[in-house]
């Protein structure tokens, strides 16, 4: 066991836990705990968005995609840009009318309390499941380094992250995200050049071998009207539609992301944070795909067998091949992404429970909810630890309900007629449709959000017509200057 590497990793774990926990003194109200007092600069929120969007799934899963395939995953990133434009135009103006703590308060304002609780419940269940997969991805890394069992590895990271999230709230989430994202980007750049240096012939050899194997292919414009077209995951059409609808759903209706946008000082800074994050996302995905291509060439030249579980490919290479100290730094970088995303999930899950279900302003209840969700994610990660691909498992789970959420949010923003009952019918229809698509067809996950959104929107419109409902008020009802939550000071 390499004690220098372990010292680097343990120093990082202790340091980031201390750094996050020291924000406790600034947590005096629910606004501080869930929105960071709305004092964070736009660039810090932008990096925090990137941290949540990439996570450990990106770091361990994306190189594996390029190792077995090519760079076609970048087609989805183009959809991410289109989604950010849609969110900036349609969603942000609504979120900054009054003060909101969660995305689902918008649903209460437009439709009523029942649809608010329904959409919040869908978020809680699916975010917990998706985050469980991400937590398991952490254990892949820790078990490689420490040789510990998966359950021990999961518990170690969850408990450390839970501690500083419990203490520092959203302020700790944002600023630890900034530190941790910087660390794992630096780590990825270092690993790129270290791997490249181990390949005889350097980049010219990589370009020749990978080019011959079509590893640098980005676009697939093939189009057909049959089921085979919809079963291909990474095509230009699937990427544009899937990336756009998935990101509009996650960044526009998912509390994990919306909470960051609501933490900005105003709508203009929130928009700047959102758009700037796409540039960083594009660079990051490109970097990790190129790392996967480098590993493909390296393993091919050395005639090495890849790990049976390809998600272990990148962290195993780091730990077994990089110099002492450097390996510890890069493993710490992977853990940085994991802890950043987990802390954000804990805070967003607890904010949804406290605000949308308990309607409470108690800081003590907020911290208690954080503990409960930490233990829940620990249990879910243990159950979901047999996933074949952590990246695609996480994206698939997130895509199943995202269409129903996006559909009902668009219904509320774009229409006047449908009321609460029709909206609930639409959500039920959207979820049913996408579950049938998931389990009864070969359609790829990149189409799930589009299908679910359309099904939800159209079913709600049809329900409103069939019920003969009268026209409602034009658009959203007037926003209150303050949230309905009465903020309680102190613990």
- Count the alpha carbons within 13 Å of 228 in the hemisphere toward its beta carbon: 3
The larger pLDDT score, comparing residue 180 to residue 252, is at: 252
pLDDT, average across residues 363-376: 86
Structural domain contains residue 150: yes
Nearest to 16 by CA among 368, 371, 381, 343: 343
As a whole number of angstroms, the distance between CA 445 and CA 54 comes to 18
Q: How far is residue 366's CA from residue 358's CA, in Å, rounded to a whole number?
A: 10
Count of beta carbons in the 10 Å neighbourhood of residue 404? 31
Tell me how far apart the alpha carbons of residues 188 and 200 are, in angstroms, rounded to a whole number: 20
Share of the chain above pLDDT 70, in %: 87
Identify whether 368 is part of a domain. Answer: yes
- Number of domains forming the structure of the chain: 1
The pTM assigned to this predicted structure is 0.80
| HSE, side-chain direction, 13 A CA sphere, residue 470 | 1
- Per-residue confidence (pLDDT) for residue 146, from 0 to 100: 65
> Does the residue 489 lie in any domain?
no
Characterize 455-471 residue by residue with b for buried, 16 or more Cβ atoms within 10 angstroms of its Cβ, and e for exposed.
Answer: bbbbbbbebbeeeeeee
Domain-located, residue 223: yes
* Cα-based distances in Å from 414 to 97, 145, 450, 474: 16, 51, 17, 10
Greatest CA span in the chain, whole angstroms? 73
The region, left, alpha or beta by phi > 0 then psi within -120 to 50, assigned to residue 270 is alpha
pLDDT at residue 225 in the model: 63
Does the structure show a pLDDT above 60 at 82?
A: yes
The token duo for 444 is 């790829």
Domain enclosing residue 145, as ranges = 3-388
Let me know if residue 324 belongs to a domain.
yes
Tell me the CATH number at 217.
1.20.1730.10
Residue 177 lies in a domain: yes
What's residue 394's pLDDT? 61
Query: What token pair was written down for 96?
Result: 């900054």
Mean pLDDT, residues 437-464 taken together: 89
pLDDT of residue 70: 85
Is the CB of residue 397 less than 8 Å from the CB of residue 384? Answer: no
Residue 238 lies in a domain: yes
The label of the residue with tokens 């380094």 reads 145
CA 260/CA 45 separation, integer angstroms? 6
Residue 322 has pLDDT above 80, yes or no: no
* Residue 47 burial (10 A CB sphere; 0-12, 13-18, 19+): buried
Crossing angle of helices 113-146 and 326-352, in 10° steps, is: 160
Instruction: Assess if residue 94 is contained within a domain.
Output: yes
pLDDT, one tens digit per residue, over 402-450 is 889 999 999 989 988 888 899 999 999 999 999 999 888 888 877 888 8
Q: Tens of pLDDT along 239-282?
A: 888 889 888 988 888 888 888 898 898 999 999 999 999 999 99
């Amino acid at each position: 066991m390499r004690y220098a590497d372990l010292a680097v990793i343990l120093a990082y774990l202790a340091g980031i836990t201390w750094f996050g926990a020291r924000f406790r003194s600034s947590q005096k109200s629910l606004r501080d705990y869930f929105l960071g007092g709305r004092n964070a600069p736009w660039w810090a929120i932008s990096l925090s968005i990137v941290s949540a969007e990439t996570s450990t799934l990106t770091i361990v899963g994306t190189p594996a995609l390029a190792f077995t395939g090519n760079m076609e995953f970048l087609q989805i990133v183009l959809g991410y840009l289109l989604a950010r434009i849609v969110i900036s135009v349609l969603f942000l103006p609504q979120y900054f009318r009054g003060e909101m703590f969660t995305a689902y308060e918008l649903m209460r304002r437009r439709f009523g309390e029942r649809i608010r609780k329904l959409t919040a419940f869908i978020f809680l269940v699916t975010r917990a499941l998706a985050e469980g997969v991400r937590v398991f991805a952490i254990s892949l890394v820790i078990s490689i380094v420490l040789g510990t069992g998966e359950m021990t590895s999961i518990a170690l990271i969850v408990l450390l992250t839970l501690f500083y999230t419990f203490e520092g709230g959203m302020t700790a989430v944002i600023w630890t995200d900034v530190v941790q994202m910087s660390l794992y980007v630096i780590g990825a750049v270092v690993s790129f050049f270290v791997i490249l240096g181990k390949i005889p012939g350097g980049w010219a050899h990589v370009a020749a071998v990978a080019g011959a194997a079509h590893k640098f292919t980005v676009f697939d414009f093939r189009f057909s009207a049959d089921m085979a077209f919809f079963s291909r995951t990474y095509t230009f059409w699937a990427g544009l539609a899937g990336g756009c609808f998935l990101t509009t759903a996650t960044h526009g209706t998912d509390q994990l992301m919306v909470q960051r946008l609501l933490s900005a000082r105003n709508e203009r800074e929130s928009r700047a944070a959102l758009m700037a994050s796409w540039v960083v996302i594009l660079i990051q995905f490109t970097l990790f795909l190129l790392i996967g291509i480098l590993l493909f060439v390296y393993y091919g030249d050395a005639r090495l067998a890849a790990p049976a579980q390809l998600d272990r490919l990148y962290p195993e290479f780091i730990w077994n091949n990089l110099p002492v100290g450097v390996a510890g730094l890069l493993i710490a970088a992977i853990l940085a992404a994991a802890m950043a995303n987990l802390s954000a999930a804990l805070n967003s899950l607890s904010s949804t429970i406290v605000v949308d279900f308990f309607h409470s302003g108690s800081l003590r209840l907020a911290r208690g909810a954080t503990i409960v969700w930490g233990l829940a994610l620990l249990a879910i990660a243990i159950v979901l630890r047999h996933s074949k691909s952590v990246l695609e498992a996480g994206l698939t789970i997130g895509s199943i309900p995202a269409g129903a959420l996006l559909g009902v949010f668009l219904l509320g923003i774009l229409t006047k007629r449908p009321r609460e009952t029709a909206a609930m019918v639409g959500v039920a229809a959207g979820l049913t449709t996408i579950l049938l698509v998931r389990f009864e067809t070969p359609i790829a996950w990149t189409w799930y959000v589009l299908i679910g959104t359309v099904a939800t929107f159209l079913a709600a419109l049809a329900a409103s017509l069939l019920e003969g409902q009268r026209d409602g008020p034009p658009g959203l009802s007037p926003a209150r200057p303050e949230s309905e939550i009465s903020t309680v000071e102190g613990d």
